[in-house]
């Protein structure tokens, strides 16, 4: 009996997309996203949805033999016991498990470091040892999610997505999807201010906005001094209603 040679599945090599809840993104912005590197957080979620982060725990580094936190601008040493405690006592009882670690690097160092297997230091070596230590209920943790944040010269955070598949020593680039709900009202109003009525009208009338969003848009336009556009949209609505009524 011959077994057909399995073709390499392109899907397996496609870069994965990492997603997260708005709450995870909010916690990230309050911690790694605004602190001097290096800092890190433990990431968790369900292993049946392994690229979606639902848990975020900003972690203290481990302490050196003098009792000081072992972290600097170019390294951070994790506290395994603390991490294991969170996973075992908080996440596993709620059906969650570790998915990876988010950490920050000095500016320009956008990819994981390799490190030395002997010392268990360096990103890829550490990620592999975590995957190999998988003690989840079904032992089905296959990918280590590892976003890396760097800060640019203005202090703005840049996120670089990485995933290390189990058994590999080559991290794969991943896309990162930021939850839209986290766009602040301030950002949204700033964006609206730059829009002309040609930008807004097709959007408003496209049918893709809920009634609530349409009302929010009208209020916001008035708030930022774009009354003319707001009145025009309402006039167009009224005209549309008259058409609907006569049909």
Binding site for Zn ion (CB under 5 A): 113, 123
Question: Residue 73 or 175: which CB sits closer to Zn ion?
Answer: 73
Contact between 53 and 24 under an 8 Å Cβ cutoff? The reply is yes
Question: Residue 150 or 168: which CB sits closer to Zn ion?
Answer: 150
d(CA 140, CA 47): 7
Question: Residue 113 or 220: which CB sits closer to Zn ion?
Answer: 113
Nearest to 98 by CA among 55, 158, 161: 55
Nearest to 69 by CA among 84, 57, 80, 79: 79
For the bound state, the minimum distance from the C-beta of residue 144 to Zn ion, rounded and expressed in Å, comes to 12
For the bound state, the minimum distance from the C-beta of residue 126 to Zn ion, rounded and expressed in Å, comes to 8
CB neighbour burial string for 105-143, b if at least 16 within 10 angstroms, e if fewer: beeeeeebeebeeeeeebbbbbbbebbeebeeeeeebeb
For the bound state, the minimum distance from the C-beta of residue 47 to Zn ion, rounded and expressed in Å, comes to 24
Question: Residue 79 or 123: which CB sits closer to Zn ion?
Answer: 123
**The token pair that represents 55 in the structure block:** 């848990």
For the bound state, the minimum distance from the C-beta of residue 112 to Zn ion, rounded and expressed in Å, comes to 6
């Amino acid at each position: 009996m011959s077994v057909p040679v399995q073709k390499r599945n392109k899907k397996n090599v496609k870069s994965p997309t990492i997603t997260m809840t708005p709450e995870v993104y909010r916690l990230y912005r309050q911690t790694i996203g605004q602190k001097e590197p290096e800092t890190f957080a433990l990431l968790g979620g369900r292993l049946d949805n392994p690229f979606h982060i639902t848990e975020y725990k900003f972690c203290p580094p481990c302490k050196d033999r003098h009792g000081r936190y072992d972290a600097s601008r170019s390294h951070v040493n994790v506290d395994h016991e603390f991490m294991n405690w969170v996973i075992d006592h908080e996440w596993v009882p709620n059906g969650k498990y570790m998915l990876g670690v988010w950490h920050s690097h000095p500016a320009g160092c956008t990819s994981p470091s390799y490190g030395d297997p002997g010392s268990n230091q360096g990103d890829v070596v550490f990620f592999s040892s975590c995957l190999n230590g998988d003690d989840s209920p079904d032992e089905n943790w296959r990918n280590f999610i590892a976003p890396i944040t760097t800060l640019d010269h203005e202090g703005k955070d840049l996120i670089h997505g990485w995933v290390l598949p189990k058994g590999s020593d080559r991290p794969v680039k991943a896309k990162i999807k930021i939850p839209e709900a986290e766009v602040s009202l301030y950002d949204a109003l700033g964006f609206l201010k730059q829009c002309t009525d040609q930008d807004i009208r097709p959007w408003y009338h496209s049918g893709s906005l809920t009634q609530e969003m349409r009302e929010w848009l009208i209020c916001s336009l008035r708030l930022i001094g774009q009354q003319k556009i707001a009145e025009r949209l309402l006039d167009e609505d009224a005209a549309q209603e008259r058409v609907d009524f006569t049909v």
